[in-house]
Amino acid sequence: MPKDIGQLFHDETKYHRHRMPRGSGFRFKDPEPFKTYPNPLSVVELPPPDEEGGIPLWTALSRRRSRRDYSAKPITREQLSQLIWGSYGVSGRYGTYYLRTAPSAGALYPVETYLVVNSVEEVEPGLYHYNPPKHNLEQLKKGDLGKDLARACLGQGMVATASVVFVWTGIAARSKGKYGERAFRYIYMDAGHIGENLYLSAEALGLGCCGVGAFYDDEVNQVIGVDGKEETAIYLGTVGSLL
C-alpha cells in the first residue's frame, strides 16, 4: 500500500546516525534574515514595546484559551505594538543576527509576519508587513480585507470580527541552504513558537486570541500578495477585544 504524502515526507526527512537525508549536508549560506518592502503605501511607526511588568508568566499560561468571540471595541496601537513584538519581535543582537522573542532553528528566522488590520486605533484598515529591525509596519493594501480573508479561512467569522489578524508565511530558502528538505519541519516548528507567543501576549493584555490552521492556502496567499511557492502562508492568528 503506498504511503500517504505526509508519512512519506516524514520518513524521507528523518535523521539517521549513519545516513543523513540527501541534500542536508549542513551547507550554510547567508540568506536575507527578513523581508522589506521598499515602496510601501505608508509606514506606521509603532510605540516601543514594554519589556517589563505585565501579569506573571504562570498566570498567562494557566489562563490561555482559544477565544473566538470579539467585541467591536478596537485595540490600541500600543497593544498592537506589544502583540507584534511579543510574538516575533527583535529582543537582542548577536553579531549580525537579530535575535527574536521566539526561537528559530539555526537563528535563520524563515517566518514573515503580515497583518490584516480591521479595527486598531490610529492604524488605517488594510494589509501590512512587519519590519522587525525598525519595529514598524509597511502598508501594502488599503481597505477592509477582513471579509476576504475570512472567506479564505473556510468562512470563519472571527477572522472578520477580530481587530487584527496575523498571517505568518514561510520562506523555505532561508532554511533549506542549511537543513535541506528537513527545513520544512523547522519552519512549522518556528510558526508554532510564534503562535504561542501571540497567545500569551494577548492573554497578558487582556485580549482574546485564536490560532487558525484551516484555510485555502492559495486564497490566503492572494490576499497578502505572495506567490505560494517561494513564500507561502502557513499559520494565522486572530486577536480582538473580549466581549
Burial of 89 (C-beta count, 10 Å sphere; 0-12/13-18/19+): buried
Instruction: Report pLDDT for 231.
Output: 98
Q: Which helix (H) or strand (E) holds 77?
A: helix 77-88
At 174-217, the pLDDT tens digits run 999 999 999 999 999 999 999 999 999 999 999 999 999 999 99
| Residue entry with cell 535523521 | 15
Q: Considering the entire predicted model, what is its pTM?
A: 0.94
Which residue from 174, 178, 81 is spatially nearest to 135, judged by alpha carbons?
Answer: 81
Domain made up of 42-241: CATH architecture: 3-Layer(aba) Sandwich (3.40)
Alpha-carbon distances of 152 from 76, 145, 188, rounded to whole Å: 26, 11, 20
pLDDT at 78 over 60: yes
Cα(110)–Cα(188) distance, integer angstroms: 10
Q: Is the pLDDT of residue 21 over 90?
A: no
Cβ(11)–Cβ(182) under 8 Å? no
Distances (CA, A) of 105 to 55, 63, 135, 238: 29, 28, 22, 25
Task: Inform me whether the pLDDT recorded for 98 exceeds 60.
Answer: yes
d(CA 13, CA 205): 39
Tell me the per-residue pLDDT of 109-163, one tens digit each, with 9 for 90 and over.
Answer: 999 999 999 999 999 999 999 999 999 999 999 999 999 999 999 999 999 999 9
Q: What radius of gyration, in Å, describes the C-alpha atoms of the chain? A: 18
